[in-house]
Structure 1
C-alpha cells in the first residue's frame, strides 16, 4: 500500500513494515510517546443514548487466551480508573457502514449478499501488548496486510450495495482496545502503567469470521446486536 498519512488516524502515518510485529509495536509506542494528554473517549460528536449504527467488526468472545491476558492487563492498570472493556466486548473495528436510520433493510440485504459473494480468507493475527492512543489503552495488532485486504473487500461490497465504509483502507489502524479513558488527564501516568505490560508475550487469535453488527453505547461501553456473521474461507 502506498504510504498515506492521515492526521485523523492514530498513529497518523503507517508503520514502515505492515506485517512485522516488532516494527508495528514499536511504531505504535513511538506515536503514543508523543501524546502529552489523554482525552475523554466518550466526548465524541454524533452519539446519543438512542444512536444506532451498523459496523463491520471482528469480535473475540471465544478467544480465551486474549480474554485472560486482557483481564490481567486491566487489573494491572485499574488505578487509572479507566472504563474497562468487558470480555464479551473486545473487538477490532473494521469500519462504520452508517446509521440504522439511513440504511434500508433492502440495502442491508444487498450488502450482506455482496460481501458473501467475495473470497475472504481466514488468517491468524497477533495481539501485541500493550500501547495506547489519546483515548484508550489497547493492543497493537499484526500483521496488517490481511486486515487491510479484508477491509478493502468489505469496502468494495459496501460500494456495490450503495453505502460507504466510513474511512478508506489507507486510514485503518488495526487495534484491540481494553480500556477507555473517561476524562482529560496527563498521558505520562498511562505510559508508566502500561510499560511493564509490554513485556508480555503476544497472543495469537484466529480471524475466521467478520460480523456486521448494530452498535450502540450503553453505560460507558459499546454493545451490539449481530446482524450477520460472515465466515472467512
Structure 2
C-alpha cells in the first residue's frame, strides 16, 4: 500500500523552518538537515522550557529503539567525540523519536487514555524501515537525521487523527512535524560554530538501519538532564 501524500508547511517555529524538497530521499533529507544546522548562529539551553519541573509528568507518543545495538554503538561513538563540548548525552536506553504530546497526567484519566489507544489502533500504518544518518542538529540539540520522512509523517497523522477524534488536540500539526533522533542536548546559550564544526567531522559514519514495528504511548518525565519514561502501551504497526 502506498504511503499517503502529506504536505509540510514552512514555519519559523519548526526546525528546519522549511521542509526538504523530497520527503523520501535520504540524501536530500540529510543534506537539508545539515544545511539548516550549519546556518545556526547561537545555540540555546534545551532544558529551559517553562512549565517543565522535576514533578511534571505527561503522556507522549514516541518511537523507542531498545533492540538496536547498532544505533547505540553509533550514538556512543558520536557522543564520545562530542564530549569536550559538555553537552548532555542521551542514555543508551533513552534514544527515541518524539511524535506528539497527548496531554498531562494531571488532566487525562485512564479511561481517556483508553479512548485514545482504541481510536489509534485501527488507524496505524504498516511497519516501516528508517535510516538514522549522522549528523546534524537544532538550536538546542545534536541529532541524527532519520529518513525517509514519509512513513513517520503518516504515523504522526494517524495519531493526530486519533487524538482529535477523542477530543484532544496535538500541539503541533503534522504539517509542522520534523522527524529527528537526538543524541545530545545543549545545556546553555553558546555560539554554535564550535558545535557545528565538531558535528561536521562526524558525518562520515555510515547510516544505521532501524525497523519500526510498534509505537509507544509513554508517561514521560525528567530526571536531571535526562528524559525517562514508563511505557503505558505499545501498539504494533499495521
Q: Please give the range of the TM-score, normalised by the shorter of the 2 chains.
A: over 0.9
TM-score (norm 2): 0.96
Provide Cα deviations, 1:148-189, integer angstroms capped at 9, x if missing partner: 000100111111112122210011100000100011111010
Match of 1:140 in 2: 145
Q: In structure 1, which of residues 7, 13, 17 is the aligned counterpart of residue 18 of structure 2?
A: 13
How far 1:57 sits from its partner (Å)? 0.2
Q: Are 1:153 and 2:191 matched, yes or no?
A: no
How far 1:3 sits from its partner (Å)? 4.3
How far 1:196 sits from its partner (Å)? 1.6
- Between 156-165 and 171-180, the greater mean CA deviation after superposition: 156-165
Count residues in correspondence: 233
How far 1:32 sits from its partner (Å)? 1.0
Q: In structure 2, which of residues 113, 117, 122 is the aligned counterpart of residue 117 of structure 1?
A: 122
Match of 1:205 in 2: 210
Gaps of at least 5 residues in structure 2 are: 1-5
Go from structure 1 to structure 2 and tell me whether the alpha carbon gap of 1:178 and 1:119 turns closer, same or farther (over 3 Å shift).
Answer: closer
Match of 2:219 in 1: 214
Quote the RMSD (CA, aligned, Å). 0.9
Secondary structure of 2:146 counterpart: strand
Q: In structure 2, which of residues 41, 49, 52 is the aligned counterpart of residue 36 of structure 1?
A: 41
Match of 2:55 in 1: 50
Gaps of at least 5 residues in structure 1 are: none
Q: Are 1:191 and 2:196 matched, yes or no?
A: yes
Q: Confirm or deny: 8 A CA contact 1:107 1:162 kept in the other structure.
A: no
Moved over 3 A (4+): none
